[in-house]
Amino acid sequence: MKREIYLEITPLNEALEKWLRRLESQGFLKAFPGEKVMVSESLGRITAEPVIARLSSPFYHSSAMDGYAVKYQETFGASEISPKKLKLGEQAVYVDTGDPMPDVFNTVIMIEDVNVIRCQAPGVRYQEDEYIEIISPATPWQNVRVIGEDIVATELILPENHRIMPVDVGAMLAGGYVDINVRRKPKIVIIPTGTEIVEPGSNLKRGDIIEYNSRVLGGLVSEWGGEPVRFRIIPDDIKKLKNAISEAHKVGDMIVVNAGASAGSEDFTSRAISETGEIIFHGVSIKPGKPVIAGIVGNKPVLGIPGYPVSAFITFNLFAKPVIYKWQGMEMAPPEILQAVLSRQAASTLGQEEFLRVKIGKVGDKFIAAPVSRGAGVLMSLVRADGFVRIPAMSEGIGAGSEVDVELLRTKNEIENTIVCIGSHDNALDLLSNSLKKKYPKLSLSSAHAGSMGGLLALKKREAHIAGTHLLDEETGEYNIPFIKKLLPDKKIILVNLVYREQGLLVLKGNPKNIKGFEDLTRNDVVFINRQAGAGTRLLTDKHLRELRIKPEDVKGYEREEYTHMGVASAALTGIADTGLAILASAKALGLDFIPVAKERYDLAIPFEFYDTDMIKALLSIIREDSEFRAMVAKLGGYDVSDMGKVMYDG
């Protein structure tokens, strides 16, 4: 079992410098020469030469007003007492805005300032006895757009290396250009590899992996101004991969192989690059993204991009983007940075620079950054992330409450229009998020699943606008209110019902293990999947176990925790466990059977300080008035929406 060993693990800065300096030294980083395009097709392209006006605009004197062109010398002495008459057709000529100035005239009097004295004979344009009468003298060239008023021939309209905007297109046309030289778009060939990789839409079988990285990377190339060229999928076959690289070398300016960059036994990329060209480095001390390869084949840069989607995204941004910009004569804008407070600790491996994905919300006047899933394979962590926090290689992590610099993936405006919901997970929140965006496109709902208790604590720490909670007080039988009083004694909280919902044990279709209730959890052949501490569902589990006098240590799997109902359902579906407690909606979603255990109340806790904000008002209008939303929730199954939107407590 031969294993490719990383040639070295290079620190990020060193790797970047090595890469760019090497390309630079061989002359591979120069801005591309221009290609001719029609000015009318040049929007968004980059100028490859200075655009210098060939023509003045206007290129003749023209009237700037509707009025009469006259000679200013003939208007001297005009006044209200002694108006001056000018003969039409001879001393004065009518001009529309934009009309060229008739040759002998040198000023224009606005039509509003003129009295036309005309005979009544119809159908004749100028009569012998038609005059205009003016009551004040004109100054030379008044109301005239003189040649070059807008653009003077030889003037610089656009410098080289300028991204063309809509108004620039107009200015170039006005300046006498029909076509111009713009930077050729860098062609980036992306080669997806892997015997297990299949095209989207294929008939899937176990072991297949849908190929999507090439589309993500291709999308980035397009956004950066390049042109992605996607090759067909190459199986794990060194000869075929080498052929593909040779083919790519003919077509593209950069070759990107994805993946096969990690050190597994089927990883041919580094071999293929070193056998067709040269490896500059293999392995960078970043997380995720470590197994990235950079090399040169012929005179073209080659990247071996790791297969995990987050690794692929990060390494492609780090190593491909600066090159694609340089080729266009552009420099990358620095990322927009937002200062935020990290909501919980993020430990990190010493010696690796980590790119931590975070969601950000503005709660009160603080921006709160909450880390999202850190797995390199979790693409959704990028879909959901608002930005990155870089944890330096020399750090073991960042403590909760620390100020961090977030490199934004979205605009600050989008973040400021995001409602942060932390707390118990419920499938209705997905629908709420969708209905909110449908009715109020500028607003977003971001929900993090931290359990009911976690949600209330987040309100206490002012890290969320609302919290989803379904905490049953065993003593009083009351939901949520006792917990709010205890945990948030100084905070005025309004509790709005979202749903009543059924909780139950999820089992495979047909209930093969014949599970009837919590009493079966002590059976030797039954593996349970639990929820995390602080989750309302965990409290419900513990309450039932206590009532049945079952000790946690007698429940197999009690220690394995999931964070969402769907996580529990997924575990039950896939055989990780035989059963777990979750809501009916999650069972229906995955086609599981459901053994009802309890009906419970699920509320949204909203601090008074946010209750009257526009964002929360919009959210409540969906909950209270949007019948489509209500119907969709009911359709999930196991929900009672009769109190949806009702204020349950106003403390």
What is the footprint of its own copies within residues 169-188 (CB under 8 A)?
A: 169-171, 173-174, 176-178
Q: Which stretch binds its own copies (CB under 8 A): 8-16, 375-383, 494-502, 603-611?
A: 375-383
- CA-CA distance, 455 to 533, in Å (whole number)? 12
Which is nearer to its own copies, 155 or 640 (by Cβ)?
Answer: 155
Closest distance to its own copies from the beta carbon of 519 (Å): 23
Which one-letter amino acid corresponds to residue 27?
A: G
95 close to 110: Cβ distance less than 8 angstroms? no
- Euclidean distance between CA atoms 204 and 632, whole angstroms: 30
Instruction: Tell the smallest beta-carbon distance from residue 380 to its own copies (Å).
Output: 6
Q: What is the smallest separation between the CB atom of 78 and its own copies, expressed in angstroms?
A: 20
Q: Is 251 in the site for its own copies (CB under 8 A)?
A: no
Instruction: Give 124 or 204: the residue with its C-beta nearer to its own copies.
Output: 204
- Per-residue x/- mask for its own copies, residues 550 to 589, rule CB under 8 A? ----------x-----xx-xxx-xx-x------------x
Q: CB 363 → its own copies: shortest distance, Å?
A: 20
Q: Which of residues 381-400 bind its own copies (CB under 8 A)?
A: 382-383
Segment contacting its own copies by CB under 8 A, of 128-136, 373-381, 509-517, 600-608: 373-381
Q: Does 64 bind its own copies (CB under 8 A)?
A: yes
What are the CA-CA distances from residue 518 to residues 284, 296, 573 (Å)? Answer: 50, 62, 18
Per the document, the length of the chain is 651
Q: Which of residues 440-499 bind its own copies (CB under 8 A)?
A: 440-442, 444
Verify binding: residue 87, its own copies, rule CB under 8 A.
Answer: no
Q: Does 233 bind its own copies (CB under 8 A)?
A: no
End-to-end Cα spacing for the chain: 66
Q: Which is nearer to its own copies, 195 or 246 (CB)?
A: 195
Q: Which of residues 483 and 594 has its CB atom nearest to its own copies in the complex?
A: 594
Q: Does 100 bind its own copies (CB under 8 A)?
A: yes
CA distance 508 to 592: 5
Q: Is 141 exposed, middle or buried (0-12, 13-18, 19+ CB in 10 A)?
A: middle
Asked if 346 contacts 371 with a C-beta cutoff of 8 angstroms, the reply is yes
Structure token digits, residue 569: 């359902």
Mark 203-232 as b/e (b = at least 16 C-beta within 10 Å): eeeeeeeebebbebbbebbeebbbebbbbe
Task: Select the span of 20-28, 72-80, 261-269, 597-605 touching its own copies (CB under 8 A).
Answer: 261-269
Residue 524 interacting with its own copies (CB under 8 A): no
Residue 512 contacts its own copies per CB under 8 A:
no
Q: Does 274 bind its own copies (CB under 8 A)?
A: no
Among 19, 28, 57, 324, binds its own copies (CB under 8 A): 57
For residue 10, give Cα distances in angstroms to 351, 355, 393: 10, 16, 11
Q: Is 111 in the site for its own copies (CB under 8 A)?
A: yes
Residue 418 beta carbon to its own copies: minimum distance, rounded to whole angstroms? 12
In the set 122, 166, 477, 510, which binds its own copies (CB under 8 A)? Answer: 166
Instruction: Establish if 29 lies at the interface with its own copies (CB under 8 A).
Output: no
Q: Which is nearer to its own copies, 78 or 88 (CB)?
A: 88
Q: What is the footprint of its own copies within residues 134-163 (CB under 8 A)?
A: 140-141, 145-162
Scanning 279-327, the segments in alpha helix (DSSP H) are 309-319, 321-327
567: closest CA among 539, 544, 538, 596? 538
Question: How far from 210 is each of 37, 132, 190, 231, 240, CA to CA, in Å?
Answer: 38, 80, 16, 15, 20
CA nearest to 186, candidates 35, 311, 19: 35
The footprint of its own copies on this chain (CB under 8 A) covers a number of residues equal to: 123
